[in-house]
């Protein structure tokens, strides 16, 4: 009795998007290329940049195209680790969160969560004013940038530093971070550009 031989599995190298330097972010084993398109892969920014100060930033990428043994990805979201967020929040401070649904210049839709930690406890009116600054800056940046520029500014802290500079005029801040982001709608033409 002859037994069916399973198709040989191939190891695919998963690469970050070009604006992350096409860094290798992992390996996936699969029977066919079609089986890995659409999968998400998680890593930390530290694994891409080798900068230990960025180990608290978790990144998500989605595989959109496979060539030979290389799998290409697009940014799919990020999040700060829970212990890092917990470390920022102490007794006697105020935590201000704002969630914005934005659309970039190249029609990508993202949901962005921003957080600010004040130096001391502040009033509700001050929280409201700081939240408005957060939302205004995030919306303005998303309309000015395409997705790769927006993601870089969001992850590397440029947007957070702009929020800090504006919001400090209202109340002293300890830290501002883009805590989380998630891609709601990918742009269809992205796969063709890689």
User: For residue 154, is it within any domain?
Assistant: yes
Same domain? 159 vs 130: yes
Angle CA 65–68–71, to nearest 5: 35
Give me the DSSP letters along 86-119.
HHH--TT--EEEEEEEEE-TTS-EEEEEEEEEES
Give the structural domain span for 142.
90-185
Confidence at residue 1, expressed as pLDDT on a 0 to 100 scale? 44
Three-state DSSP at 68 gives coil
Q: What is the mean pLDDT of residues 154-183?
A: 94
Count of the separate structural domains present in the chain:
2
Q: What is the pLDDT of residues 71-124, one digit of tens each?
A: 999 999 999 999 999 999 989 999 999 999 999 999 999 999 999 999 999 999
- What CATH number is given to the structural domain containing 131? 3.30.479.30
Same domain, 69 and 113: no
Q: Is the pLDDT of residue 158 over 60?
A: yes
């Amino acid at each position: 009795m002859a037994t069916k031989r399973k198709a040989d599995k191939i190891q695919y190298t998963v690469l970050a998007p070009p604006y992350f330097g096409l860094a290798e972010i992992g390996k996936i084993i699969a029977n066919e290329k079609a089986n890995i398109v659409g999968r998400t892969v998680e890593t930390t920014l530290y694994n891409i940049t080798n900068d230990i100060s960025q180990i608290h930033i978790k990144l998500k990428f989605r595989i959109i195209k496979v060539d030979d043994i290389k799998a290409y990805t697009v940014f799919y979201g990020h999040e700060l680790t829970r212990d890092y967020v917990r470390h920022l929040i102490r007794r006697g401070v105020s935590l201000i969160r704002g969630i914005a649904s934005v659309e970039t210049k190249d029609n990508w839709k993202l949901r962005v969560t921003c957080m600010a930690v004040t130096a001391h406890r502040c009033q509700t009116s001050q929280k409201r004013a700081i939240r408005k600054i957060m939302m205004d800056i995030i919306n303005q940046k998303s309309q000015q940038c395409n997705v790769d520029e927006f993601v870089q500014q969001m992850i590397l802290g440029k947007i957070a530093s702009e929020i800090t500079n504006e919001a400090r005029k209202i109340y002293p801040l300890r830290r501002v971070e883009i805590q989380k982001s998630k891609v709601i709608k990918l742009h269809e033409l992205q796969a063709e550009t890689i």
